Structure 1
């Protein structure tokens, strides 16, 4: 391989991506500045609309009274003079004109409000996409800026790992997108709704509607609790803190129990051998393998029972995940994987195990369930039972 040429290509790619990253960053900052300006204008439009609505309500009441007054003076010629009729008519006409103008202003403010909200929503999407692109470029730049010699040694040591780095990047980006989507659809939406509901509560307080305000605050409290629970779930999915405090087995036991409560799939968890603490990175890796396996069961297996077993040996950890689901054709799956078709769950688990210098065996058949056995060495080579 011509390493100098590869190095030159990588440096050129890094330069182009650095330039593109800053251009995207500038677009993002420009969109964010416009977003802030539109939000300020939107708030001003809302305030103006509130005042205009109040003015319309007041003018409608005054105009109604003026019409009643005009009717009275027009009917009773004995009590009122022609001058009184003229004054009443002019007053009613003036109020009608003011009311028409106020209604038109209200209509324009509502239309402007809707337009601003639509533009802000579009800017939100633009900013989100720009931030995602910058994040992806940072990951790729970090990968490309690494030690080229180390990448070369990896390429020379195993041909089947040539694409592993990029696959890891794809997996990282998918995880980031999943987290961003969870935050956007969960806590972010809840917080936006809380802000809106709090504004409604403020208006109710101004009208002395205390009973309605109490109900609104009760709903707000429930929404805050729900949002807090969503945030806790996201934090747990990112990094279960119990791994550091309690270790692998207690964390798995709690996760499996929660999985059973959430999915209504009957679970059985067993630990074989002398339980011991593993290196922190390995505990995280083992936990993610079990998490991915159970996620696949939930998505595809249609199982009613899952057995999970963790075996501790001197130099190895053995994982067994077995379900009674629908299973699948293993030969067809292997063929599709070799062709590059999408089976990211199985591929991801196999690559995680290979990165740990381990091995994964898969046993399955149509309507016969699935059994996954993973052998992960702690030190030295993998040993059979």
Structure 2
């Protein structure tokens, strides 16, 4: 551009097309950069959401059948993770003929919790009529975005977040999308959970009836025959010859042997351990062996005691804890060795999982962590242990590996849920 000896205005007028092209180029570049930034942010949000969904699915799969509230707490934690707000809640409505399950929250102090759920309960009739997201201002608590959770058969409750005053319209739209998604997912999760509980009860009932019928048709009838023969022998043995008495005793002996054999067959058919079928401990060993081969990691499993009389909820929770902990050690801890020790005693279960991975700062685990999936996995292990009345201890530091210790009293969960 030749602008020597000219004023700025003359230079602009003389080279107007050049300046216009420059301005348009800058505007286009800014628009492209803005679109690119928005696309990157959207991709990051989508990827983060997908990671949360995968982790949430895994955690829901691990939820104990005995701990309905575990699911509610996991969901409120995920609401905070997905929305990046400080406070979230899951308020459960009353079920017909039953007391309301205990509502759950994340972010409020313990003394605020009762006031929060009392205020929500005052609007129960209003919530039952809602089918869309609702903005609500609760006295003394602030502004909330709430979303109803509905199964196919009934109204469950409300999930929601406390809104920040600085949030704009675009942010609120994002929260609505997240709450709508989590509301539908929560309904599916809870409905599946209830159906699973009912299915397990039906399986147990059917198996009890089958065993009772089998016992009645075989063992019970044979035992009645033995009792009757013994009673008859008691009345008549004095009148019998020695050979007749011996013959009658042999007959009773043969009948008793037959009953014992039938009873043994029934017991073996019910016991996978005795019948040679897959056992729980065998499945744990197989899972860890497969994990070791696939990831080229040394996993050492030591077991003392027997799981033969251990109830199903303990089997499920322990398997999920072992799976979650070893998976975290490999995926997030980059461990080369994991030691798993399981002690099974009649009254206590003790589980130790130690790895030589990179470790992490445990102070950040329950607040904000870069590795949100790992943090939620740790919380889930804690929930599972506590749902069975157990204790969860975690110790770790950077470049020093991670150690998890779990103690669970056998029988506490059955007393709690009786």
TM-score (norm 2): 0.36
Higher strand share: 2
Higher helix share: 1
TM-score (norm 1): 0.39
